[in-house]
Amino acid sequence: MGSTTDNRLQELKAFDETKAGVKGLVDKGILKIPSFFHHPPDKFLKATNSTNTQYTIPVIDFTNIGKDPNTRQEIISKVRDASEAWGFFQVVNHGIPLNVLQDMKEGVLRFFEQDTEVKKEMYTRDQTRPFIYNSNFDLYSSPAPYWRDTFKCHLAPNAPKPEDLPIVCRDIILEYGAHVMKLGITLFELLSEALGSNPNHLKDMDCCKGMALLGH
């Protein structure tokens, strides 16, 4: 048992030390996924009827939320109902421009499509760094890692210096982050009012203080 564990640890370290991640394996043209990526079988029962539409995730439309007081009250009511019954909901027409969403997706792709040698300079497991790129933050502790690479940066409460972000996606990360923060504040205002409190209730508790962005 000990040697199996040791072998697995050596394989994980060898993978980690390439600093090329899962994409590096794919770029090399591997034909077989390494065994340490194999997840144990699911213990959960699978749904027998995948076409069951009895339950539908609540979708809340934010159109005219800041223009019409009646619309705002209707949205608050929907937020309250969804939060009580489900604990989550989907927002549409949230105000983040479509081109910003598309540019963010393209920015993530641009980062991961960079030359491996360029990305290696940013590969780290040091959680104090302003920009963290690696494959599986829990690589050495999870039963099996996921088939993905990730970058992470905290945009609030302390915004990163632009020079700490990769130039290929720097501008869109900051622009997208500003939009998401604005939407987040709106959501906390709605949740506060749904609780019967003033709009700043959750904001005053620092619920809007932090924000992290992850790109896979």
pLDDT (tens digit, 9 = 90+) per residue, 122-176? 999 999 999 999 999 999 999 999 999 999 999 999 999 999 999 999 999 999 9
Q: Where are the alpha helices (DSSP H) in 113-169?
A: 116-120
Q: Both tokens of residue 8?
A: 């697995």
Q: What CA–CA distance (Å, rounded) separates 108 from 29? A: 22
Distance CA 75, CA 31 (A): 50
pLDDT digits (tens, 9 = 90+) for 11-30: 999 999 999 999 999 999 99
Q: Which two tokens stand for residue 36?
A: 């340490």
Q: With contact defined as beta carbons under 8 Å apart, do 95 and 182 qualify?
A: yes
pLDDT of residue 118: 97
Over residues 90-108, the pLDDT tens digits come to: 999 999 999 999 999 999 9
Give CA 127 to chain center in angstroms.
16
Q: What is the pLDDT of residue 65?
A: 94
- pLDDT over threshold 90, residue 48: no
pLDDT value of residue 50: 63
Please name each of the domains of the chain with its CATH number: 2-37+96-215 (2.60.120.330), 55-94 (no CATH)
Q: What is the pLDDT of residues 176-198, one digit of tens each?
A: 999 999 999 999 999 999 999 99
Lowest mean pLDDT among 53-57, 65-69, 77-81, 104-108: 53-57
Residue 201: closest CA among 216, 185, 214, 215: 185
